Chain A
């Protein structure tokens, strides 16, 4: 049991009208970092393991995996997961830099977050072209 507080914290108004909250690019990149992390856990890990398993097992297992993975829907999911990994990794590098107090000024923070956002999409597009 945690010790009870002597005074209740003040009740503050909660204002969560999402469309009305201004979303500068650093906050978008930050939210996408969380979204991509959740996606990687929910879909990315099982997908990566299944793909690795099939690609290293017998040629028959690989063929049956390739048939499933060749479906356009599967390709779209794979491309989505590639984006999740690349965005999460780049945003993670930026996060680590911020933890070391590098790039904390507003102008720099905006620039690096825009770079993360754009670079992740460009790399994903390059991979998507290859997959497709």
Chain B
């Protein structure tokens, strides 16, 4: 057995929590994708009328919002992993990560507007 004596002890298992979050959100998004495809087919076709009818259901809009939250979380973990791999200068990385968070929060607000029509 190999024992590593120079282990670099950091953090509080954020890595594991993110790893699990990314998997749970992935499952949520898979399920939503299947539900959406079936609902659309059920609703009477992939034309504009069927499309409108699908989004008229409050339950479907709520499911979509759940998907959006899962996506927000999943994308944050994923994109942050990518920045940690490729952007080495800490300052640059933090700026990029800040921009990513801003974009994701903006998208979530946009999602709410689209789903529940809070238009000015």
Contact = CB atoms under 8 A, between A and B. Distances in A.
B75 A56 contact: no
Contacts of B26: 92, 95-96
- Give chain B's interface secondary structure class: helix
Interface in B17-75: 23, 26-27, 29-30, 33, 48, 51-52, 55, 71, 75
A96 B6 contact: no
Contacts of A5: 6, 8
Contacts of B111: 49
B78 interface: yes
Contacts of A104: none
A118 interface: no
7 contacts: A6-B6, A34-B82, A37-B78, A38-B82, A41-B79, A41-B100, A95-B26
